[in-house]
Structure 1
Amino acid sequence: MATDVNEFVINADEVIARAKERGESELLISKKQEALDKIESLEMPKPDKTKLNRWDFFTAAQPVTDSSVYGSLEELPEAVRNLLDIEHTKNIYVQHNNTPAYLQVSDELLDKGVIIENIIEASANHPELVEKYFMTDGVRVDEHKLAAFHTAMLNGGLFVYVPKNVQIEDPVQMVVLHDDEKASLFNHVLIVADEGSELTYVENYLSGVDKSEEQVNIVSEVIAKDNAKVKYGAVDFLAEGFTGYINRRGVTGRDADIDWALGLMNDSHVIYDNTTYLIGDNSQSDLKIVVVGRGEQKMNFTSQIIHYGKDTNGHILKHGVMKDAASSIFNGVGLIKHGATRSDAQQESRVLMLSEKARGDANPILLIDEDDVTAGHAASVGRVDPIQLFYLMSRGISQKEAERLVIHGFLDPVVRALPIESVKNQLREVIEMKVLSK
């Protein structure tokens, strides 16, 4: 039975001792100590319409486990190689459970001052740079209990820094292979795109086990400074049994762009938070999310774009398919702060339910504290359109194939937004498998 969060206990001395044994930097250890000092007084997050008191986020969290490392692309497991566009992706980081397993960065980027390192090494090698952005503007250590727990237990992730006016043409890709059922993932991804820089980043979470009873507590922070552009793509496909908290945040400077394309395919109970703060004038963010739920999954998705700067644009598109007894809650928030004149907040949330027991809830929310703005929303929850099915079946297509085509068409706007062809293909295969499996 899951432990009530109010009964949470953590051995702070043991956490710090482990960090020192692993040779973690003074910066990380001090952050972990800060989190441990505050965690007991912090509350849990409160996602709308989801009670977390029976979700076990804490008790099974295991120490870091050692896994394989690889000396070349050819040595990587086939499941990982299938996600890589070998010809075009020159900048690759692979994490095997909690172990930094492989890193490849082109000489061209290194010569330009680009930093791509696992987060633990980066905190030691570039402490002033990491400290400036790590859990400051995106996610705070003391935001709530799960953010503090993430900081205390951090055991993997990636740091990417792109210097001023450097434009990276080839994507940076991270693949996390989880195939140890005793390994919990507390990954932190910190991306800093300095002024005038451009970056495409894609990450994949992939399971090699059928079930796990551990924790996933992932935080990503994307800082796009003035006139920077970041495209962030992800496909999450972790096994059943995890309890998950996944938080991806963005912060924009003046004239900056952050675009998200997220395929959230995990088979576990998960709460998601994706928030972008449009701080700089004329900045923008486009968020696309696709979800397929099955079994008895419970998922809560909170997507927010918060406008602070003038002439900012934020668009949210979320499409989900629920089958079996899966349930999802889509909370979309477009918040325009006072002073964010001429801003535009738009959102669309749509859920298809494929069975009688499946549940979907779409809650569009617009919070406007300024007069001269544009805002709108659309939301729908329902079943596959019988008119679409009739049209396809009238052309000689079977009902099963017609439903398949309708679902792919429903989800395709997000799939097409992913910037790496091999990752697009992976997401399409995952959608096919999850939708058509019994």
Structure 2
Amino acid sequence: MSTQLSTPTDRQSAEALARSKGEPQWLVDLRGEAAELAGTLEWPKPEKIRIDRWNLTAVGNYEQGQAAASVGELPSVVTELVAEGTESLIVQQNSTIAWKQVSAELAAKGVIFTDLETACKEHADLVQPYLFKAIDKGDNKLTALHAALWNGGVFVYVPRNVEVELPLQAILYNNKSEAAFAPHILIVAESNSKVTYVDYVVSEPGTTTEPFVHHSVVEVFVKSGAHVRFGSIHHMADNGVDLTLRRSIIENDGRMEWVIGDLNDGNTLSDTTSHLKGNGSNSDAKVITIGQNDQKMSLTTQAVHFGRSSESDMVTRAVMKDSATAIINGITKIEKGATKANGVQTEKVLMLSPKARGDANPILLIDEDDVKAGHAASVGQVNPEQVYYLMSRGITKQDAERLIIYGFLAPVVSEIPIDAVREQLQRLLERKLEG
């Protein structure tokens, strides 16, 4: 029997929690308004997946944790993910920040890399104009609940003309089912700046024994001529539900790159959307997932074109095992006035079991004539001719199938911007594929 944990969604409780953490009044008000909305709105209704049948109320309760004295004090699930040479790192344990550091060189350049709760207090002039502006807290019950209850999180601010050479890294993990785990990621890249941000969202093995919900929102603002690379790997236990919404707003000649690894063992709702507001704006999104056992996943990637000569490219690769189900939606929307826009998308699903289900749904919504748009989608099994060819070269059938699967996933894996992250992704893929 699943455990339904209490959810403080009323205004009084949300505001009291915010005040107890010393949050500024504007944030107290925002949380209170969102809590009221959460009681009146419905859960999102993704295509062909009934997430309202999932255990969505086990969001836990806020717990104040203790900061670690060094990275070495953190559990192995964290330390093994820290890339060698990392100078800027944030670690969130359950509801609060356990560790953070930023290189002195970046700080001297005006780069801000801190937890979002601290940023709301110390950099309100930079946070308030952007928080819940890419995603409206009143969109649905999920966005409202998150606005009322988010905790920890990450804030990145890169000043105009500043390039951050080394990636910024965050590790967000939970090790207690009853503790709230709801980070909010906010990135602001000013004009002609450049930054790479990579995070892991994981649960510590053997510690989350009861059902839990991770609800997260990512907001990225790419100003004129800026370039943001965002990499994220999610790998949580099978008794967890992952609800993650990502949005970017891209201005003139800005470029946004998404690399997403949705490798959870439990049910997953993942929605990654780029709004190409500016002329010449560009978005590139690559998503990879592996489904196993009876998990259910709704994976949506979207590009909405407003700017002239804007370009988007979306690639999703999914491997489905056992009785897993994945509904994969690619949506390219070109608004009226977005002349010369070009939107391309590809969704491919590789089925490893007759009981698995994978739906690839390419969707083009075009309201302008002078544009280019294309899509490709396929659902199929491992090609027996390819297996036969490799076996004829002395490779076992099992190894041949594994090589084909890795080749199928390679277009996304190769795009991970940090060697250590890419290697960890490979290990996760091997584990899920081998069961």
TM range, normalised to the smaller chain?
A: over 0.9
**In structure 2, what is the Cα distance between the partners aligned to 1:354 and 1:94?**
36
**In structure 2, what is the Cα distance between the partners aligned to 1:217 and 1:86?**
29
Whether 2:142 is the aligned partner of 1:112: answer: no
Q: After superposition, what is the alpha-carbon deviation per residue over 1:64-102, rounded to whole angstroms, capped at 9, x for unaligned?
A: 124442222333333322222232x21111111222111
Distance 1:326 1:336, change over 3 A: same
> For residue 70 of structure 2, what is the amino acid of its counterpart?
S
Aligned to 2:329: 331
**In structure 2, what is the Cα distance between the partners aligned to 1:374 and 1:392?**
39
Aligned to 1:223: 221
Aligned to 2:153: 157
**In structure 2, what is the Cα distance between the partners aligned to 1:403 and 1:328?**
21
**In structure 2, what is the Cα distance between the partners aligned to 1:9 and 1:208?**
25
SS in 2 for 1:328: strand
Whether 2:320 is the aligned partner of 1:322: answer: yes
- CA-based RMSD: 1.8
167, 171, 174: which is aligned to 1:178?
A: 174
Q: After superposition, what is the alpha-carbon deviation per residue over 1:249-284, rounded to whole angstroms, capped at 9, x for unaligned?
A: 111010000000111101111111111000000000
**In structure 1, what is the Cα distance between the partners aligned to 2:155 and 2:272?**
19
Aligned to 2:59: 61
Whether 2:364 is the aligned partner of 1:387: answer: no
Check conservation: 2:252, 2:278, Cα contact below 8 A.
yes
Whether 2:196 is the aligned partner of 1:200: answer: yes
SS in 2 for 1:37: helix
Check conservation: 1:2, 1:54, Cα contact below 8 A.
no
> For residue 206 of structure 1, what is the amino acid of its counterpart?
V
Q: After superposition, what is the alpha-carbon deviation per residue over 1:222-265, rounded to whole angstroms, capped at 9, x for unaligned?
A: 10000000000011001111122100111101000000011110
**In structure 1, what is the Cα distance between the partners aligned to 2:43 and 2:238?**
23
**In structure 2, what is the Cα distance between the partners aligned to 1:367 and 1:122?**
38
Q: How many residues of Structure 1 are paired with residues of Structure 2 in the alignment?
A: 432
Whether 2:140 is the aligned partner of 1:144: answer: yes
**Alpha-carbon deviation of 1:207?**
1.5
**In structure 2, what is the Cα distance between the partners aligned to 1:434 and 1:262?**
16
Q: How does 1:94-133 map to 2 (within 5 A)?
A: 94-133=91-130
> For residue 183 of structure 2, what is the amino acid of its counterpart?
N
**In structure 1, what is the Cα distance between the partners aligned to 2:188 and 2:17?**
28
**Alpha-carbon deviation of 1:173?**
0.4
Aligned to 1:18: 17
SS in 2 for 1:357: coil
Check conservation: 1:264, 1:290, Cα contact below 8 A.
yes
Whether 2:41 is the aligned partner of 1:42: answer: yes
Aligned to 1:340: 338
**In structure 2, what is the Cα distance between the partners aligned to 1:348 and 1:328?**
15
364, 368, 374: which is aligned to 2:366?
A: 368
**In structure 1, what is the Cα distance between the partners aligned to 2:64 and 2:128?**
27
**Alpha-carbon deviation of 1:403?**
1.0
Check conservation: 1:415, 1:424, Cα contact below 8 A.
yes
129, 134, 141: which is aligned to 2:131?
A: 134
**In structure 2, what is the Cα distance between the partners aligned to 1:12 and 1:252?**
33
Q: Percent identity?
A: 41
**Alpha-carbon deviation of 1:9?**
8.3
Aligned to 1:421: 419
Check conservation: 1:180, 1:209, Cα contact below 8 A.
no
Distance 1:332 1:3, change over 3 A: farther
Check conservation: 2:199, 2:233, Cα contact below 8 A.
yes
**Alpha-carbon deviation of 1:112?**
1.0
**Alpha-carbon deviation of 1:3?**
11
**In structure 1, what is the Cα distance between the partners aligned to 2:283 and 2:250?**
9
**In structure 2, what is the Cα distance between the partners aligned to 1:220 and 1:418?**
18
Check conservation: 1:114, 1:162, Cα contact below 8 A.
yes
Whether 2:350 is the aligned partner of 1:355: answer: no
SS in 2 for 1:27: helix
83, 89, 92: which is aligned to 1:92?
A: 89
Q: Which stretches in structure 2 are left out of the alignment for 5+ residues? A: none
Give the structure-2-normalised TM-score.
0.96
Aligned to 1:266: 264
**Alpha-carbon deviation of 1:2?**
7.6
**In structure 2, what is the Cα distance between the partners aligned to 1:169 and 1:433?**
32
